[in-house]
Structure 1
Amino acid sequence: MTDDAADSAARNLAGQLGWPCFKRWLTLPDGRVPTFGSGSLFVNGDDLVVKGEKSLQLPSAASVEERFDPEKFRRQLATEAGVVSDPPEASRVQRAGEIPGLIYRPGFITEEDEAKLVALIDGAEWSTELRRRVQHYGWRYDYTQRQIDESMRAGELPAWARELAQRLVDEGWMQDLPDQVIVNEYCGNQGISRHIDQPRVFAEYVATISLLETWGMVFRRRNSKRKVEIPLERRSIAVLTGDARYKWTHEIPNRKTELLMDQHGKRRRVVRSRRISLTFRKTRQRRNA
């Protein structure tokens, strides 16, 4: 994992868990700033010292930035033993500690590989049976009956999907070789409602690779009010196993923007454009139609 990818993962994790790892910086333009209150303030070197309470009337050109503090993150991580699982060094997996069984790693594929995948996918035929465009490989899925039978065979996986499927098994992301892949395209405010991939149809491990943009995925604990949002970064992989697979629903919210952190640790509102997800699953024994 590159240093940039590690920093990005740390910023996202701190934001998800609400850790105090961010500093706010106020930038004032040249000019006068009216103040109110009985307190006083003065400059001491590089510090603005405030005694008592003082209010500032900020000009419209003033800006407030939120910056990530890596040192605070390291200290917080050291004191939160058990909240975040230690990732195996061999695969450098990032685990989202609030959701047992969710395995997440940014930078799973390269930018070059992403471009090749998108070109191959866009060169294939899209289905418009849903509100979003999809492509099914291996097996089609009946969204109404929530099942797969022998009549839904969709041929062999394409070469790009076979290569990724084999990698998922070789690197230990999935136990069994996936035989079903669904490609989902999300544009603008499109999303997908909360759900659990049908346990009767698909085996435990479900892996999703995100392309083109970083969008948030919301997880909700069943029979609970607990909710956690995980930004699925562009070119990342997320694998659902155990509790994350069976006890938490997941969804992509219908919204027009995403609140993301840039490489400097600043939170910015980004307008959605297009995201493609590749979901790999292993089907269970099927019944005849």
Structure 2
Amino acid sequence: MDSNHQSNYKLNKTEKKFLRKQIKARHTLLRHEGIETVSYATQSLVVANGGLGNSVSRSQLLPALEKCGLVDALLMPPNKPYSFVRYRTADEAKKAYITLNGKEIVDDLGQKIILYLNFVEKAQWKELGLQALPPGLMVVEEIISSEDEKMLLESVNWTEDMDNQNVQKSLKHRRVKHFGYEFHYENNNVDKDKPLPGGLPDIWDSILEKWLKEGLIKHKPDQLTVNQYEPGHGIPAHIDTHSAFEDEIVSLSLGSEIVMDFKHPDGVTVPVMLPRRSLLVMTGESRYLWTHGITPRKFDTVQASKGHKSGIITSDVGDLTLSKRGIRTSFTLRKVRQTPCNCSYPVVCDSQMKATPPSFPGSAREASQLEQEYVHRVYEEIAGHFSSTRHTPWPRVVDFLKALPSGSLVADVGCGNGKYLGINKELYMIGYDRSQNLVDICRERHFQAVIGDALAVPLRSGSCDACISIAVIHHFSTAERRVAALRELVRLLRPGGTALIYVWAMEQEYNKKKSKYLRENRISQGKEEISSGAVVPESLTEQVPDVGNQDAAGCVAAITDLQEGGGHASTVTKAKLPVHTNRTSFHSQDLLVPWHHHGKPGKDKAVGAAGPRDPGPVFHRYYHVFCEGELEAACQTLGHVRLLQSYYDQGNWSINNNKAKPEKLQMPTAVE
């Protein structure tokens, strides 16, 4: 092959590779963002890889686009890895399409990325609604001079602590000092009877007196926490513990600006810019009800125009860019509360919540009572809201149902809102659930469903070709009752019938991969990272998905209990059940998982208004999360079954069992 043919071959190979990646980018935009491209030239282009979400700022992208023609608008949606550019003419857009497609650009991290451009009829994205600052929140810019900033930063001695009048700690992603009172991260509180000697540094006396005189604060703080953040680090969303501090909490930002995210229990999120040398004041609803946190990242999405310094980051995609973070030091000042909190937000108030969690059951009667109170009653209360969050069937359960022979009789034990009852129209499926309200929802959807206990299903033995039990058996509170639920599924199967079983897994990370349950919480919530406040269960902001999680810790003990048939050791029977923080790893196999039942929007709120719904009550559901191998061990205690398959599926353990025929009983099991 001569050199000319060789170069043509390489060029064609490169073109084919580029074409494949361009088509992939187009399909990805359509699938995940609903952005439809067109094959003919228009004035508008979508630029894949050229967005704020993958560290490309307006100042990096716009000059490259302007070399191809007059840019009417560059629209950069927040947190998206793409942008839209509109040229004055279609010819200019076509020039950009030819010139920039497949070309490299350097992002704000100094890394090279390749742009892929496609024509669109018009720019389209999911716009953020109009937002306002959370009630009771105030940001005061330039609260101190640059000279005072330097003096305050130099007053914090991070290298030594000679006078022992404050407490210094090095957490995973930041350095912390406490003055006045030490904040204890293990219980998110202060010891009110043990103030630190020396109180607040003298340098704060004149500053606080000035703020009091100007009416910026109402109470003189007696506790100070200093946090120093490196670029790229943040702090989990939290509410400062109600019982620990009075209403007013203020925070001074020095060294670098930052975007802090405020989130209402209803899910409304408001990003707030805190400029350098600004004061954040939280009172009322913003202090007691909204969580606040800082997402760990090296760039923040901010307004590009100079007129916007503090306050809300708007949804004006024509005026957004990136701001690189620097080292930020925050001085958070609070007044320690000496009496219980009696705020108007009892749902999230530790002073007003039910204080005593239930004990671990020590007998079959106690187990039944625990399940009645923390499983059956809860699902009756949350049935409607629960159903609204359970609409997407799990793919591997769908595959199981679609693979069954036409005409098979299938029992869905613990059917919930019936999302699996209509998957395969060729099957005859019957749903059973303890909740009257969930069964009513199934019937409203024209599914066959009746009230039934998973320990005593009202169906003749050996009558089913298959059974499914999806995210049910983990609600039984002793090993004996979990095995009894498995035995009941076997009873329903004809010889040769199969059962698919899913239970929550303790492993949040399996084979070096995080489950969706953890991936959706992008802020690490390790104990060493908890801010000076109570971490709020994510159920106040997001509901637990119908996936479960497991971890190998404690697996041997659980298997021993099952093999010996003795339930749980007496040493733990009187232990209090811990309350789990949603979207975090499990630290106990037996626990209570919060469910925040949203209230309805206030009657005085107009449709589409920014006002969030009233917070509803928090319910706690009992779970036993399964260790790896624990479900298989439970099935092996049964007779006449064969394990066909076991696997881990996004935080759930699943088994597929087969009930043996007279000559060879089998039973498949699956755990989720």
Give the match's secondary structure for 1:198: coil
1:259 pairs with 2:301: yes
In structure 2, C-alpha distance between the alignment counterparts of 1:264 and 1:177, rounded to whole Å? 34
In structure 1, C-alpha distance between the alignment counterparts of 2:306 and 2:335, rounded to whole Å? 39
C-alpha deviation, 1:56, in angstroms: 3.1
1:99 pairs with 2:99: no
Q: 2:168 is matched with which residue: 100, 108, 127?
A: 127
Structure 1 contact 161–181 (Cα < 8 Å) conserved: no
C-alpha deviation, 1:261, in angstroms: 3.7
Question: Against the structure 1 CA distance between its residues 147 and 260, is the aligned structure 2 distance closer, same or farther, given a 3 Å change threshold?
Answer: same
The equivalences for 1:77-156 within 5 A come to 97-122=132-157, 125=161, 127-131=168-172, 132-149=174-191, 150-156=193-199
Name the counterpart of 2:282.
Answer: 240
Name the counterpart of 1:72.
Answer: none
Partner amino acid for 1:228?
A: V
The equivalences for 1:206-285 within 5 A come to 206-222=249-265, 224-261=266-303, 264=306, 267-285=320-338
C-alpha deviation, 1:267, in angstroms: 4.2
Structure 2 length normalisation: TM-score? 0.29
C-alpha deviation, 1:256, in angstroms: 1.9
In structure 2, C-alpha distance between the alignment counterparts of 1:217 and 1:233, rounded to whole Å? 11
C-alpha deviation, 1:231, in angstroms: 1.2
Partner amino acid for 1:56?
A: K
In structure 1, C-alpha distance between the alignment counterparts of 2:197 and 2:237, rounded to whole Å? 26
Structure 2 contact 243–339 (Cα < 8 Å) conserved: no
Structure 1 length normalisation: TM-score? 0.65
In structure 1, C-alpha distance between the alignment counterparts of 2:306 and 2:326, rounded to whole Å? 22
Structure 1 contact 141–152 (Cα < 8 Å) conserved: no
In structure 2, C-alpha distance between the alignment counterparts of 1:187 and 1:195, rounded to whole Å? 20
Alpha-carbon RMSD across the aligned residues, in angstroms, is 3.1
C-alpha deviation, 1:170, in angstroms: 1.6
Question: Bigger radius of gyration, 1 or 2?
Answer: 2
Percent same amino acid at aligned positions? 29
Question: Against the structure 1 CA distance between its residues 55 and 172, is the aligned structure 2 distance closer, same or farther, given a 3 Å change threshold?
Answer: same
C-alpha deviation, 1:107, in angstroms: 1.1
- Unaligned 5+ segments in structure 2 are 1-60, 70-86, 106-129, 162-166, 308-318, 341-672
Q: Per residue, is there more strand in 1 or in 2? A: 1
1:168 pairs with 2:221: no
Name the counterpart of 1:198.
Answer: 241
Question: Against the structure 1 CA distance between its residues 28 and 54, is the aligned structure 2 distance closer, same or farther, given a 3 Å change threshold?
Answer: closer
C-alpha deviation, 1:202, in angstroms: 0.3
Name the counterpart of 1:91.
Answer: none
Structure 1 contact 196–245 (Cα < 8 Å) conserved: yes
Q: Per residue, is there more helix in 1 or in 2? A: 2
